Structure 1
């Protein structure tokens, strides 16, 4: 016995055809969701756009409007939907790429490819897994940090020479990359260090021409870190400018990675 042919109501056809016209989901996604062949949805969509005045009519003899009168509101709605989609795309593209990458979720109904296209994010960024630094590079970074505490004026060339004197085979390119990753730079005058940026606000120095005579008149705070055998210890202190007395201090231990 042959398989019984399914029958769809006019309301169901109109709903599916309108969803296909809006373009929120692809024909394949609509077919999988409603258990309808994609060719059938494409046919309903074509009928909706070409002959909206007599779409899925049941021959009730109701008055028939002209094609322009029936299709004009439909195309107006489609135009508004397209304008809304363009506005949302423009709004989304104004956000940072890091935030847009967080929108991608593999567990969602949409594929990764479609999510990346909607968020204007490259798929290679989603699939990329950063490679951690090797144990050898971590050891070099620790040695560079120790040397930098002793000689903050060392750049990558002199830092490379120091590592080679200790018996490590390393070139200046590798040292420069590790120092750049650690945020270390030789303490030397750079170009235009005394030339302020025009867009930066200049804050007034509130202690200028202020004579500090009394205790508890001016306090200042500072923070530094102390390298240990395993990890670091961060030291924060508050000092009185007149007596040079340490009013308060706190240590924070950071475990090694």
Structure 2
């Protein structure tokens, strides 16, 4: 056996090692961690350790982290760089740059990402960019006619 271990570049003690099965307490703890994680998938190892502590089980957070890693559990959380703009999205011009709000209700905003009629979502058949442009076109026409309307009213 020692010759085989030497040829395989292994320690002899590793050939005789028999792993122990997990204890009943460890299995019960892993089941409870899984239940908590299923109920609240946004909990990390610290929150799960706090929850277990509230339930009367004194478990170290490092132990919870180790078991979660072994079970392949990872909390749901936002990733990095969420504030960076998507380069594939178009850049829209700012139409109000040289416009001063002189009276109340002079400048209005419209959110055209979700269009509905009588509470039913309307499928525009276009992507969001083209749908926004087609819905904003009448507003742009009115904006262009405002100087002429002011001249007529004076």
Greater relative CO (CA pairs within 8 A, separation 6+): 2
In our comparison, the structure showing a higher alpha carbon Rg is 1
* Larger fraction in strand: 1
**Structure 1 length-normalised TM:** 0.30
